[in-house]
Structure 1
Amino acid sequence: MQLSLQNFSTLVNTMAATVQGSCASLIDLTVGSVLRAMLEASASVALWLQYLLLQVLSMTRLSTSIGADADSWVQDFGMARLPATQASGEVTLSSFNPASQGATIPDGATVRTSDASQSFGVVNGPYFRAVGVASVIVQVQAATAGLAGNIQSGAVNVLGTAISGIDTVTNLNAFSGGKSAETDAALRLRFTTYINTRSQATKQALGYAIASVQQQLTYTIQENETAAGIPMPGNIHVIVDDGSGNPPASLLALVAAALDAARPVGTSISVAAPIVLTAALNVVLALDASVDVDLVTAEVNTALVDYINALGVGQTLRFSRLAGLCYDADASVSNVQDISLNGAAADIGGQAGSVVRAGAIAIVTTPL
């Protein structure tokens, strides 16, 4: 519906013309006159009413609803926005004097970043550091869900909870898994799929069931065969990944339950994690002597790792794409002299049940 809207000046001019047209004598509508003030006050009220109409119109359609209005819109159909998830990773807890005593690290013990912006709690504990052992690696999870928990390596360096026998903490690797709540655009797209698959038992319906378990899952669906690739009429084998290459058993169980509720009658479902193909890279970059070699190397390494680890189940890592990633990572890269992928110049991945993840990346620089 297209509304015929008017701005403040148009409203005042229309009112003034209507008043003057209804009177036989000239009306004083100069700035500051009583009648002019009354017309301007009425125009202000009319603008407010227009605003309320626009709000009501936006909330009557999902395509224009935002935030809580979009949530309430889809809830009428039994849907809900996918929540934010917490980042997780490993930290190393160490002692200055390991020979003197051991240590017990309980569940819930906290560590944090130096600026205190992110806090993480120990999970899957308790953990123990034996006497004479300098350090122990423990699993931690972000206290707050969201992207902010995906911190870089070395960012966790403060103990939030005093632990006898533990003096320092650090994270050798970056954390991952933190995601923001589903966006309005993603919710609208998923709602469309939801409506289109209510009366179907198709691949699209199964895909919707998987996508509703957790954000950013990738998958492939293989029909009429087992996990080993043996023909089996009526079996639907699904390979799912959460971006880690090694999704936990709890996630696979949730996916299996969601698929079981959407599968056709007379069929069976099997769910498995993907086969991880490790991508080991050797890269030789030509750089000008004036650039910061360490900075450029780090940027190229990050670009390669991020691209590879973002590949979904069944996607191919194209060898020809790698040089472009190096050039795009930093303008200081003047030439990519050599690249090898797992010791060759060929693509890897592409199989239905595989996923490619970054392995060791060796970057060598040479002067121009």
Structure 2
Amino acid sequence: MATLNIKSFTTLVRDQATAIQSKANALLDFTIGSTLRSIVESNGGIGLWLQSLILQVLALTRAATSFGSDLDTWVADYGLTRLASTAAVGSVTYSRFTPTTSALIPIGSRVQTSDFTQTFVVTVDTSNPAYSATSGGYIIPATVSSVTVPVAAQNASSGSNVQPNTVSVILDSIIGVDTVNNSAAFTGGTDGESDGALRVRFVDYLASLARGTVAAIKFAISNVQLGIVSSILENVDHSLNVQRGNLTIIVDDGTGSPPSSLLTSVYQAVDAYRAAGITFAVFAPSIVSANVSAIVGVKSGYDVNSVKGAVGQVVTDYINTLGIGVTLSYTRLAQVIYDASPGVASVSSLTLNSGTADLVPTAVQVIKSGTVAID
């Protein structure tokens, strides 16, 4: 699109005065308060308003320049919708000091983080031995001091991915239960799809209309849920042996252990896009644990525990964001440690799985953090 000749209010007024004066035989009065000045300023205001309307219309006629609900309606004309945010899930342990009688954790009971920013609700897990459909919750028998139950965030967002030992407030009091805590971090929470991500996916959507292609299948997978990472291996089975006409699809939701419900949803999505006569299967990645150990020297003036804690968290996050089949470089770990905090003075005795070699997964594996010991 050619550059638009946008004019300011001052330019519009000046151009009018110049044009009018050029047609007059005498000097005209355009001073502030004069009749002609009032007329040209009025015309300039109308011109500025019309110009803004034109710019707005131009913006709305292109996906690249539309935002928010305007972008939603733009892509909706092509049958595409913005991906919604997802709620984090995890487990909490309800405990009590005196286990003399049985207690019931009702489905729907709410717990909250210690800073009162995130609320979680107890959900149904029929495979949990403590679950009772008749009672409508999870039973803590007499003499048993605790029970671990699944919860999901009340409000879907990436902020619901809370850290371990942060869910400690019982919102709905339960007779016979005293405390609650989460021993592991919650995962799976994502914010709604951003405008930029939706524009990228819209381009992928147009490319996917051919179907039967790797790009089309990847698009189908990306539509299932935000945060999905996938790898499509052609003409091999899950053991990486040659199998002509077969696709082995590895899917991860960031945890390394996506639920079976997600794998089923991905299978159904891919089945609508695959070429006729092509077989395929969807798998979760096999996890390869990365155990990291290092001695970190801390600069003077920095809190030792804070620096080492930051290093451990950054190293863990870096490892857990590696894609399916992506190698974990031993030397890269040193750079990650130095970049984790300005208080890092030195790194020594760095080991990766007790060695100094890169950790190389296969095409069906993903590396996740194991023990990260920063001394």
- TM-score w.r.t. the length of structure 2 is 0.92
Alpha carbons 1:349, 1:355 under 8 Å: kept = no
Alpha-carbon distance in structure 1 between the residues aligned to 2:39 and 2:158: 52
Corresponding letter in the other structure for 1:331: P
In structure 2, the residue matched to 1:12 is 13
Unaligned stretches of 5+ residues in structure 1:
none
Unaligned stretches of 5+ residues in structure 2:
126-136
Alpha-carbon distance in structure 1 between the residues aligned to 2:347 and 2:162: 29
In structure 1, the residue matched to 2:154 is 143
In structure 1, the residue matched to 2:48 is 47
In structure 1, the residue matched to 2:101 is 101
In structure 2, the residue matched to 1:111 is 111
Alpha-carbon distance in structure 1 between the residues aligned to 2:266 and 2:187: 21
Q: Cα deviations across residues 171-228 of structure 1 (Å, max 9, x unaligned)?
A: 2222221111111111111111211231242211111111111122112212222223
What is the RMSD of the two structures over their aligned residues, measured on CA atoms?
1.6
SS in 1 for 2:272: helix
Does residue 322 (structure 1) correspond to residue 365 (structure 2)? The answer is no
Query: Relative to 1, partners in 2 of residues 1:6 and 1:267: Cα closer, same or farther, differing over 3 Å?
Result: same
In structure 1, the residue matched to 2:174 is 163
SS in 1 for 2:155: coil
Query: Relative to 1, partners in 2 of residues 1:136 and 1:19: Cα closer, same or farther, differing over 3 Å?
Result: same
Alpha carbons 1:151, 1:175 under 8 Å: kept = yes
Alpha-carbon distance in structure 2 between the residues aligned to 1:234 and 1:188: 32
Alpha carbons 2:229, 2:252 under 8 Å: kept = yes
Q: Cα deviations across residues 92-140 of structure 1 (Å, max 9, x unaligned)?
A: 2111222x22221122110112343221111125222222222222211
Alpha-carbon distance in structure 1 between the residues aligned to 2:82 and 2:25: 62
Q: Equivalences for 1:162-241 in 2 at 5 Å?
A: 162-241=173-252
Alpha-carbon distance in structure 2 between the residues aligned to 1:18 and 1:230: 80
Alpha-carbon distance in structure 1 between the residues aligned to 2:118 and 2:189: 12
Alpha carbons 1:221, 1:237 under 8 Å: kept = yes
In structure 2, the residue matched to 1:361 is 372
Corresponding letter in the other structure for 1:97: T
Corresponding letter in the other structure for 1:55: Q
Corresponding letter in the other structure for 1:58: A
Corresponding letter in the other structure for 2:74: W
In structure 2, the residue matched to 1:266 is 277
Alpha carbons 1:85, 1:179 under 8 Å: kept = yes
CA shift for structure 1 position 35: 2.8
CA shift for structure 1 position 150: 1.6
Alpha carbons 2:327, 2:358 under 8 Å: kept = yes
SS in 2 for 1:296: helix
Alpha-carbon distance in structure 2 between the residues aligned to 1:53 and 1:288: 58
Alpha-carbon distance in structure 1 between the residues aligned to 2:165 and 2:151: 14
Alpha-carbon distance in structure 2 between the residues aligned to 1:133 and 1:339: 43
Bigger CA drift: 287-296 or 180-189?
287-296
Q: Provide the aligned length of Structure 1 versus Structure 2.
A: 363
Alpha carbons 1:226, 1:236 under 8 Å: kept = yes
Bigger CA drift: 180-189 or 287-296?
287-296
Q: Equivalences for 1:1-40 in 2 at 5 Å?
A: 1=1, 2-40=3-41
- TM-score w.r.t. the length of structure 1 is 0.94
Does residue 131 (structure 1) correspond to residue 142 (structure 2)? The answer is yes
Alpha carbons 1:304, 1:325 under 8 Å: kept = yes
CA shift for structure 1 position 31: 0.9
CA shift for structure 1 position 351: 1.0
Alpha-carbon distance in structure 2 between the residues aligned to 1:258 and 1:77: 18
SS in 1 for 2:225: coil
Corresponding letter in the other structure for 2:270: L
Match of 2:308 among 297, 318, 322: 297
Alpha carbons 2:249, 2:280 under 8 Å: kept = yes
Alpha-carbon distance in structure 2 between the residues aligned to 1:210 and 1:40: 57
